[in-house]
A = this chain, B = another copy of it.
Amino acid sequence: MSPTTAKTPDVSRRSERSRQAILRASMELVGEVGYPKLTIEAIAARAGVGKQTIYRWWPSKAAVLLDACTDAATGDGHDSGLPDTGDVEADLKTVLRATADEFSDPAFEAPYRALAVAAAADAELAEQFLVRLREPGLQAYTRRLRAGQEAGQIDPDLDLGLAVEILLGPFQQRWLNRSGPLTHEFADSLVELAMRAFTPRP
């Protein structure tokens, strides 16, 4: 760290507290007013910081929200990968059930939906949304399926990218379209049907 960017521990702690307050405020507010009406001014007021503090660290409200959702997603172990108990079907169910619980929680769902909607409308944000929020999860699924291939539970010729799309696409569609409940039963049925396509051919 160069001398000009070095900070005393007190300043760092204060910065981290402000950063957390800003991210939390952005998550709360986007759930309350929606993405189009979310403003940097309102985030600053809710977080108890000046709006220049926000502009110093983030170029836009999309960037704030992307950090907030990334923190929320990684905070609960998202990026540490899927469990591997040796039973790939059971592990996929465990993770998809947990995801169903997460998306049934308004505190998580509302900001994530706001960001997904904004990303669907904006190609540049879509790219960041994919790289920052979606791909770590997709890669974790891909790794678990690859381990399943090595264990002989998954067809060695399966296109793993397409397999992950078949597993997660129906979930996202139900969620974004509000076309059905995100229950454990749905998670289980989806994994069971997908696994019929994934298992080695006789």
Residues on A facing B (Cβ under 8 Å): 34-36, 113-114, 116-117, 119-121, 123, 126-127, 129-130, 134, 159, 162-163, 165-166, 168-174, 176-180, 189-190, 193-194, 196-197, 201-202
Contacts and interface: CB of A to CB of B under 8 A. Distances in A.
Contacts of A172: 169, 172-173, 176-177
Q: Assembly of this chain: how many copies?
A: 2
A193 B127 CA distance: 27
A173 B169 contact: yes
A168 B159 CA distance: 18
A162 to B, nearest CB: 6
Given A170-B165, A172-B169, A189-B159, A121 B126 contact: no
